[in-house]
Every structure is written in structure tokens, then in C-alpha cells.
Structure 1
Amino acid sequence: MATSGLLNTDILSDEIFDESQARAPAKRCDRHSHKPIDMYCQTHDKVGCSTCMADDHRSCQNTFYIPEFIRNNIYQSVSRKIQTELNKITKTLAEQASKFKQDKQRLLERKAELLADIRRFRQEINDQLDKLEKNSVNEIEDKVKCLESKIDDGLKQIEALEARVTTASNKIAFPNPYQPDVFVNMKMADDAANVANKYMKDTKIKSTVEELDFKHDRTILTQLEQIIALGSLTEDPTKMASSLFRIRGDKSYCVKVKSDTEDCYISSACCLEDGPIILADHNNKKLKQIRGYNYTVTDYYDLPERPWQVCSISKTDVALTLPLQNEVHFISGEEKMKRTNKIKTDFECYGLAYTNNNLYISDASTSVYVYTLSGTKLQHFSETQSGQKLFSNIHSIAVSKDGTRIYVADFYNGLIVLDNNGQVITTSNGKQFCGAKCCYITKAGSVLVSTYGSSVLQFTPDGELIGEVIKADSEGRSESLSVCCNQQMSRMFVCSIDDNIGVYGI
């Protein structure tokens, strides 16, 4: 039933009404264009033609011919009330429009400030590059000056030897009649020749110009290539954690290397702070490192068994699980990837996460354990307080930076969120969440979950669904196995069952 009630008789006044005004309305009915709108249903507060009333309001008791209704019901106060409402709404709209204009002006002013700040930062970079250039130029100038001095010293010695040899040669060219003098001059000429030959032999004079070269520090360009912007635009973290990622294009890149004997099966991926993305290739028993805008494999490490989940434990180091060996391996990626340590568990370890110097390790189905980096077991989560099992088929786990939230991607139960005491905060176990494969925490704290149906879902830190980042009905994609993202580069990486990874702009 309509709620406005602006023509209801209980709000009408007793003001005197001029009956000459009560003429039949001239406006035609939209549904029955040959008839005027001359009827009013007070029960539903609707107007219409006689046919409308017969069709839609035949059971209503309070239907009136509008001219008669007006004659019997004074409506001027209603008109004034409507006008008052319109005036109020007009004022509200004007105030809101003014706020929008003010917000736009502040936005443009803030834009100018941000652009000016970017230009200042760019100048700082330019100043630093100028300094690097000056240092390199000074190094070349100093080196050239040193070599030039050596060359000048060599020239002086050569000139002195040339003068001595020339003098000796002149003295024996025109023999003196006194034989003793001829003999002496010949001996002195021989000594001059020997000194010159010895100098040439000892110094082994050769040009150093061709050997002088400048080796560029290519790491500068490599690092710049990995950065998509001079910085990142930040917002309120609480808003960012609940803001759905929007896909802005995608492209696939091959991560297969020559020594791979099977199709790639990237069971897990993580992004390191210093730039590279680390991939756990389950089929080929490898840990792969990709870098740059072409996302090429720049290094890989052969593992003794098939890996499952990998996670970062520092800017350059990662840890990964080897289920068949009941082990967690620690890999350093500072130069060439190499193993630095390992710990042994008494179960097949699959899921893996790290925070606050603790490892969170899951088995394949029922439990999540907390370990120290040295391998000491601290906690064990598998049941609720009432004795019910928490998990059934664990594929992946993640932990918030402060350790207050544990996220479990359970294939049959969806996303399960626990607190640090193992108490369930929320469970997303509807049909839409079934087949959860991987969970990953973004920099802002929201959680990405890849599913068997090839969708990628985004959740708030408390496990409430924000929406689908990638829809399950997208064409041409294989089953999603793992997902991670680098928000500094505005990129999300989705790994499937093939030799390519999908890189999505976000």
C-alpha cells in the first residue's frame, strides 16, 4: 500500500473550496489513452481512468470521481504540504550538490598536491642519478689521469733514450783519427743500445686504451623494470581491505624451463618484497623464480621431492613443504637459490604460512600445527570445543601479519577463519565456496581464495565475502591452483594446470 497518503482526508483542512475549480482533469490515461484520468482510489492513494479502477480497484470501497472528491474534500493544505516537501527536498539536493562541488574542488587540489609530490620525488631520483653519474665520471677522469701520467713518464724516458742512442750513433758514424776515442765511442754506443733494449723488454709497453672499459650496473635497470610506478596510491586500510579488486586486463606467461620433464603444476606461489615471484612446481620438483615485466624464469632450484605450498619468511627467503618427506625446507634466494635449513615433522605437511617467527603447518586433512623455526611444536588445532572436526581436506593456509587470524582453504568446507586460539570466527562453506584450493592474504589484509571452478574470490579479514575477482565462467582458463599478488606492481598472479601463469592488472 502507498505510504505517502498526501490526499488522505485525515490531513485535510476545513478551508472553503471554490466548486468552480472542480472540473474533470484533462490528462489522458497512459494505459487507456482514449479516457481521462478522472478517478481516485483513496484506499491505495492512486489515480486513474474508469477502466483502471474497474480493472485494478474493483474491490476497493473508497473510489471516487475526482471532481466530486474535490468538492467534498478540501485539499489546499495537502498542496501546501507537498510544496513544503518539495522545497525541503530542493534544499537538500542543493546542499548535496554543493558538497559534491566542494569534494570535486578538494579532489582536484589534492590531485595537484600529489602530482607536485611525484615531481619532487622524481627530482630526488634525478639528483641521485646525477650523483651516480658524477661519481662514475670522476672515476673515469681519475683513471684516465693516472694512465695519462704513466704514458707521459714513459714518453720522457723514451725521449731520453732516443737522445742517448742518437748521440752514440753520431759519434761512431764519423770515426776520429785517434783510435782510442773510436773504441770508447763504440763501447758507449753499445751500452746505449743495451739500456734501450732492456727498457723495452722490462716495460713491455702496450696500449691500455682498448682494455679500459665501463661496466654498467644492470641491477639498476633490473630493479626499475620491476617497478610499475614511482610509488603506490594509498587509502584507508580498512576501506582497502573491503574493496573488491577490479581486473584491468590480463596476459599469460610461460614458466616452463628446458629441464622440465612434465607439464608444469604450480601448486603454490608467493611474492617477495625485493621483487621476484616464487613458484612451487609440483610436477617437476622445482622451485622457480620469475622476474621482470616478461615474467621469465631467472633461476630455479631442484628439489628432492614434489613441493606443495611455499611462503615468504623474509625479503629474500622462503619456506616450502615437501609432503612425501614430512619436511619443511628453507630456501635462500639472495643470489642463486639454495637450501639453508630444514625441519622434520611427524606428518605429511601440506599447508604452510609464517608470521612472528612461527610456522603454521597443516597436514592433508585434519590439523593445523604451530612450530618454531627450529622445529619445536607449540600448538595443534583440529577440533572445536565440542569435539567436532574443524577440517576435512586442507589445501592451503595463510596467517594474518599479527597472527590473530588463521585462514584455511578446505576443499569441502570452503574458507575457514580461526583466531589464534583455534576458535572458529567464520566459515564460508556454501556451494559457491566449495573446492577451495588456495588462500592468500593481500597487503591490505583481504583474503583471496582460488577455487576448483577456476574463480578467484575475495574476502574481508573476518571472512565475509566481498565478491568475485575472477568469475568461474571465464573462458579459456584451466583450473585455478594458486593465487598471489603484488599490490605495489598492481598485479595478481593466478596459476593453473598448464605451463603458463595468468598475470592480471588490479
Structure 2
Amino acid sequence: MESQGQKSDLSYPGKSDGEILDQSDPGKSDREHLDPLVAVKSNRGILEFQEEKINHERIDNGHLDTGISNHVKLNHSMSDPGKLGLEHTNGVDFQYTTMNSEFPVETEVDGLENGIAQKEEINCEACKKQSKMKVATKYCWQCSQYICDHCETMHGYFAALETHLLVNIEELRATRAPEADGAPVLPIEYCPKHPAKLIDMYCRNHDVVACSLCFLPHYKLCGDIHYVPDIAQETVDMVGVEKTQTDVRATTRNIDDVIAMCQTVISDLDSSKQVAMETIRDFRLYLKKVIDKIEQKTIHDVEARHKDLVNQVEAEITKALTLKVSAEERSLQLQIADGNKSRLLVSQTFGKHVVLDYESLIKQIKQTTAKTKIFYRNDSTITSFLNSLPGLGFIRDQKPKFAVVKSCEKYDVKLDGDENCIIWGSCIDGNGNIVLADNANNSLKLMDKMNYNIIAKCPLPASPRSLYRVNETEVAASLSNRTICFVQSDEELTIKRFVEVDHNCFGLALADGEMYISDGSQRVLVYTLDGKHVRTIERDQHDDVIFSESRDITTSDDGNRIHVADSRKGVVTLNKEGRLLWRYKGSEVKGAYGVCTDGSGNLLVTGILSHNVVMIGKNGEKGGEVVKPSDDVTSPVSVCFDRQNERVLVTRNGNYIYAFEFE
């Protein structure tokens, strides 16, 4: 056997440590046997080794250390146990025949691996790059390298390396040993940026956990960096873990609320977009042929702005969903009671960060969703400047504000043959035109939305009081003869039918096919559109009288609430079934009479005794004065909001209506 298959002297001591084979002439020296190809016997498939310029002077820790060159693969999955196949990676195949086909191949590589486990020596990685083999004695956390004593000395020569944390390898092994109770001390979570690295470093200054590669550029100057297994025992507090878990769970629930809020915002954006688009189309019909040249650009502007706003909100939803997944994972990790405090420290720290990320996210979402709707306003001067304008109007994101009056225009509504007018009610019809209830002249009047000129008049059998839009082509008016009059409103006003009731009719509103009629006193009565009585609203859930002098009525923008102006009790808000939700009686509004919505959930209320118009939030919040007594509109009766032109229209006893624009 020796004469035919001489083994290299470079194998590890003991047969189990592996064997270097060369199938060239057995008469050659060991040096010649190892050049140019070297392989280790194995039955485990293909192992990579090196070819050419090989330094075989030393084999350490069970490895054959070489100067790197082309790769060679050793194939042991051959049918002939007497041959070893060497597959060159550049496509050239080699085949060597063993001189002793009876040698137990599997014991050779097993011995090589066992040698590593038994000796457990680690080479200096810095020296290895210089083709030097020295036993490592230290580990640098920042460099993530094993280094020898010589390199440790060199480490201290450079100012940038002075703060690096060096650990004795034996101490490192000791920290990696299991705890006495059998629970593992090593972290089990891998770094998301460096998947091959465990999250095993903790900075107490920043309360951050990460892998050593993450710590190197960001925390190398920190003075309170620790290896997680070393610090976990004294840092992990189960009470704190439970609190973090509770916070993470709460964050998960809050994220659901945020997502729902964002989806509501998107729905509002869609609705406001639809309003803007309808306004654009209506304006185009008015301007006819001239408008064709610029219509498409304006539509594009609205679409682009809508898309941009929706994308912003959807981006926040995506962030929220991602954060929710993280929160759920953290919550699950914090529930596991396996005694692994290292894992708990990592999970707890990440849990805290999830909560902080949520707080940051909600601030960003509030900024994003502050722009909740798209508003489009027609330019009243567009007729004369149409050919030179880039668009049909103005697009903005924010809700209309009524802080400062920009202008107030008066428009005459008295026609030939009229007595002095008393306009008790007003509303906007489906075409955007304004319908007025002239109580003194027993008529309805139609005002053009563009120029605010009276274009139609409809005589009535009694004095009209309140108006409400039924649909796109019809309005309803309450009359002093205890009837409700339904009128078609197009370019003309045409009476369609009457509904009689057995009480006085003041305020009027419609919701879900039902009419809500105030009697001017302590009741609001509900009817079908055919006049069938459904119910009467007069007492709240505590059996207290709700109203005192019920006047005008309107519905919320979503149709789910009924708002009633009461001259003595302010503004009363009910749900559709008549349950009292809230009541507003601020000192700034006296003698509440007319009421409408602004399209953004707010209410505009006239104070017939305080000579003003005030704004109230959708949940009864004080909004301040929109029209002040100094604006010289004495005893305002009705109010409506022209959304197309963004004007507040106020009526009173007299021949004029007042149109307020705001900055």
C-alpha cells in the first residue's frame, strides 16, 4: 500500500484528521505531489479547494490554508470507489485514481471537521489577508474580526480605532455558553440590514439594539455599548416588557383607527372631487363654446391634484400597514415566555421603537390629512378674460375658511310690481342657481348662479318660509297655509304638487325620503314625501322638552344628523330618529333663525338678534363669527353657502341679498 499510494506528510496528525491526496507519480516528492492540484478525500459530494501558487507550509485548525487561485471541485459521488473526480471550475475536468480504493473515505473529512472542533483555534483574519497564519486571541466588535496579539497592538496606533471594543476569545466563548438553567443567552433575531448577523449589540445611550456592522458607522463613539448577552440580565425588566407589550398592542389598535381615518379622508376626497367636477361641467355649459378650449386642462388639474392627494394618503396607509405588521410581530414576541431575556430585550426595544414610530407616523398623517378636500371655485371675471386664462378656476386643498371678509356684494331681488321684499328662505338648486323665498310677495324667485340676476319667478298661494333642495331638479318650500309645495327648478320654476299638514310649517329639511318640519314652537314632525305622518320629535331621552321656538332646519353633509335652529335654545342637533346629540347656545349667537352647512361639516347660523352669522363645528365646537354686526347686515334671517363660488349668501328683510367672499 505504501509503495503505491504514499500519503502526504502534510495531513493532520491522526488518521481521522483528513488526508491530502495526489494521484501523480508516487516517486515524486511531497512538494511535487501537492502542485498543481490538491484535494481532500470525502464522501460528502463536492468540496471547493484551490489550485496554483499554493502555500502548503502550514495547515491550521483543520483547514488547508492557501494563496487563493482558481477553484477546483472534488466529486465523490462516483460509482467507482476507486476514483476521485476533480471538476475544475473553468470547465476543465480532472480525474485521479486512488492507489488504495479500500480506504474509508467518509472518515477522512469527518476527521477534518472533528479536528476543528477539538482544537478550536481561530486564525487572525488580518494576517490571513497577508497569507500569514497566526492564532487569533481577540475579537473586535466594531471591525467584526478576529485578530492576533500583533494586530491588537497595531489596532491601538490609529485614532479612529482607539474606541473599538476588543474581547478575549476565551471570554467570548464563555459568554456564548448556555446559562445554568438551560435557557440560551444568545439573541436569536437577525439584523434586517445584515441577514447573516445576529442582533447582539446594545447601546444604552440611545436604547438601540443592532448587529455589530450596524454599530460600526453609527455608534462607534458611544461610551455605553454592550454585548447583548452581557447586559440582558441586568437590563431586562419584566414589568417594562409587559408595559411595552401593552403599548405595542395599543399601537396596533391605534393604527387601525388611523387607517380608517385615512380611508375616510380618501372617501371625502372622492366626494369633493365629484363636486368639483360637477362645478366644472356646469360652468362649461354656461360658457358654451368658448369653454371647450380650456375645459380639459382644468379637468386634468383636478384629476392630478386628486391623484396626488390620494397618493399621499395611501402612502401613509402603506406606512401604517407596515408598522402594524411590525407591531403585531413585536406583540407576539413579547408574549413568548421562554426565559430568554436576550430575546426579550431585543423584542422590548423594538417594541418601544414601534410605539415611537407610530407617534411619528400619526404626526405625519395629521399633516397629510389636514388637506382633506378639493375645492374648485369659479372666477366671476372669467367671461371677459376667458381666452387668456390657463384654467376654469382655482383648485385648493384646504377647507373654506371664513376668518376675514374679502368682499361683500349686494344684489337686488325686487322685480317690477313687487312690494318691498322679505326673503325668509334660500337654497341652492341642482343647477347651482339660488332659489329665494320672498315672504312679502308670496313667491319663489330664481337667481342666476353666475351674475346673481333674477331669471324666474313662481307665484304661490301663500307666503313661503323655508326652502330645501329635494333632488337635482326639485325644491320644496314650507308655506304659511300649512302646506309643503314641491317646485321644479330648472331654467324656470314650476309648481309640481302640494302636501297638506295640520300644523304650522316653518323649517323644512329632507333625509332618506322623509320630511322634517318644524312648527315654530316645541315640535319637529316627520312625514313621508306623500304626507304620511311618521313620528313627532319633542322630548329627549331624559323626557325633557327639546325645543322652544324651532325655526329653520338643515341636514348634515352626510345626511345622518338633523340640525334645528331654535330662537331660544340655539342650535339643536339630533340623529334621524330624533335622539338629542348636542345643543349649542353660545353667547355670540342670539335668536338663532337660519342654518345651513358649508360642505365641510360645519354649520352657519344666523343670529336675528345678534345681527351676525356664526360658524359651529360638526360636533358643536365654537367656530367664531363669519359675518359680524359691523358688516351691516341687520337681523339676518336665512343663510346658504354657494359652494361653486365659495360665497356665503345672507338674506334679511329688504330688497337685497348679501354675498360674502372670504380670503
Q: Which residue of 2 aligns with 1:267?
A: 424
1:252 corresponding residue in structure 2: 410
Structure 1 residue 319 corresponds to structure 2 residue 476: yes
- Counterpart of 1:358 in structure 2 is 514
Cα 1:223/1:251, change in 2 over 3 Å: closer
- Preserved CA contact (<8 Å) 1:396 1:439: yes
TM superposition shift of 1:267: 0.4
Give, in angstroms, the shift of residue 502 of structure 1. Answer: 0.7
Matches within 5 A, 1:200-211: none
Which 10-residue stretch deviates more, 265-274 or 371-380? 371-380
- Unpaired runs of 5+ in structure 1? 1-117, 134-221
| Aligned equivalent of 2:146 | none
Alpha-carbon distance in 1 for matches of 2:291, 2:613: 46
Determine if the alignment matches structure 1 residue 437 to structure 2 residue 599.
no
Greater relative CO, 1 or 2 (CA 8 Å, sep 6+):
1
The within-5 A match list for 1:150-169 is: none
Pair 1:405-2:561 in alignment: yes
- Between the aligned partners of 1:130 and 1:256, the Cα distance in structure 2 is 32
Alpha-carbon distance in 2 for matches of 1:479, 1:352: 21
* Amino acid corresponding to residue 378 of structure 1 in structure 2: V
Q: Which of 462, 467, 484 pairs up with 1:328?
A: 484
Amino acid at match of 2:438: D
Per-residue CA distance 1:84-117 (angstroms, 9 max, x = gap)? xxxxxxxxxxxxxxxxxxxxxxxxxxxxxxxxxx
Residue 339 of structure 1 pairs with residue 495 of structure 2? yes
Report what 2:584 is aligned to.
428
Structure 2 match to 1:286: 443
Determine if contact 1:313/1:355 at 8 Å carries over to the other structure: no
Q: Which residues in structure 2 correspond to 1:11-410 (within 5 Å)?
A: 129=289, 230-231=392-393, 233-235=395-397, 240=399, 243-244=401-402, 246-260=404-418, 262-323=419-480, 325-410=481-566
Q: 1: distance between equivalents of 2:638 and 2:652?
A: 7
CA distance 1:430–1:444, shift in 2 (3 Å) = closer
Tell me how far apart the structure 2 counterparts of residues 416 and 267 of structure 1 sit (CA, whole Å). 20
Contact 1:493 1:504 in 2 (8 A): yes
> 1:404–1:293: structure 2 CA closer, same or farther, 3 Å change rule?
closer
Report deviation, 1:397: 0.7
The one-letter amino acid paired with 1:233 is I
| TM-score, normalised by the number of residues in structure 1 | 0.53
TM-score (norm 2): 0.41
Kept after mapping to 1: 8 A contact 2:571/2:585: yes
CA contact (8 A) 2:538 2:547 kept: yes
1:223 and 1:370 map into 2 onto residues whose CA distance is: 44
Percent sequence identity is: 28
Separation of aligned partners in 2, 1:476 and 1:307: 25
Q: Tell me by how many angstroms 1:232 deviates.
A: 5.2
Name the CA distance, whole Å, in 1 between partners of 2:457 and 2:553: 24
Deviation per CA, 1:11-60: give whole Å up to 9, x if none. Answer: xxxxxxxxxxxxxxxxxxxxxxxxxxxxxxxxxxxxxxxxxxxxxxxxxx
* Structure 1 residue 476: Cα displacement: 3.4
Indicate if the aligned counterparts of 1:395 and 1:409 stay in contact, CA closer than 8 A. Answer: yes
Counterpart Cα distance in 1 of 2:500 and 2:291: 50
Change (3 A) 1:414 1:329: same
Secondary structure in structure 2 of the residue aligned to 1:233: strand
| Distance 1:257-1:427 versus aligned 2 partners, 3 A rule | same
> Aligned letter for 1:382?
E
Q: 1:492 to 1:430 in 2, by over 3 A?
A: closer
Per the alignment, in what secondary structure is the counterpart of residue 405 of structure 2?
Answer: coil
Aligned AA (1:276): N
How far is 1:434 from its partner? 2.3
Give the C-alpha shift of residue 224 in structure 1: 7.7
1:300-359 CA-to-partner distances (Å, cap 9, x unmatched) read 111110110011112231100013x21100000224211111111111111101232222
Cα deviation, 1:235-276, whole Å, max 9, x if unaligned, reads 36xxx38x545421111111001121x211100101123121
Figure out how many residues of one structure are paired with residues of the other and give that number: 289
How many Å separate the matches in 1 of 2:420 and 2:473?
27
State the match for 1:491 in structure 2. Answer: 647
Unaligned runs of 5+ in 2: 1-276, 294-379
Deviations 1:107-141 (A, max 9, x none): xxxxxxxxxxx9xx99xx8xx959989xxxxxxxx
The answer to whether structure 1 residue 416 and structure 2 residue 572 are counterparts is yes
Matched AA of 1:321: S
Q: Structure 2 vs 1, CA of residues 417 and 259 (structure 1 numbering), >3 Å: closer, same or farther?
A: same
What one-letter code is carried by the residue in structure 2 that aligns with 1:230?
L
Q: Is the 8 A contact 1:231 1:488 kept in 2?
A: no
Query: Per the alignment, do residues 247 and 475 of structure 1 end up closer, same or farther by CA in structure 2, a change over 3 Å counting?
Result: closer
CA contact 1:225–1:292 (8 Å) conserved in 2 = no
Tell whether the 8 Å contact from 1:415 to 1:433 is kept in structure 2 after alignment.
Answer: no
What is the DSSP-based 3-state SS (H/G/I as helix, E as strand, rest coil) of the residue aligned with 1:308? strand
CA contact (8 A) 1:352 1:359 kept: yes
* 1:131–1:268 Cα change, 3 Å: closer
Structure 1 pair 234/342, CA: closer, same or farther in 2 (3 Å)? farther
Determine the structure 1 residue equivalent to 2:620. 463
Relative distance call for 1:130 and 1:280 in structure 2 (3 A) is: closer
Contact 1:331/1:339 (8 A) holds in 2: yes
Measure, in 2, the Cα distance between the counterparts of 1:130 and 1:438: 39
- Give structure 1 regions of 4+ aligned residues with deviation exceeding 3 angstroms: 128-133, 222-229, 243-246
**Cα offset for 1:401?**
3.7
Distance 1:418 1:130 in 2: 47
Answer yes or no: is the 8 Å Cα contact 2:574–2:582 preserved in 1. Answer: yes
- C-alpha distance in structure 1 between counterparts of 2:456 and 2:570, whole Å: 34
Q: What is the distance in 2 between the residues matched to 1:291 and 1:446?
A: 25
CA distance in 2, matches of 1:292, 1:440: 18
Aligned-partner Cα distance in 2 for 1:482–1:233: 28
Q: State the shift of 1:475 in Å.
A: 5.0
For 2:656, give the aligned amino acid: N
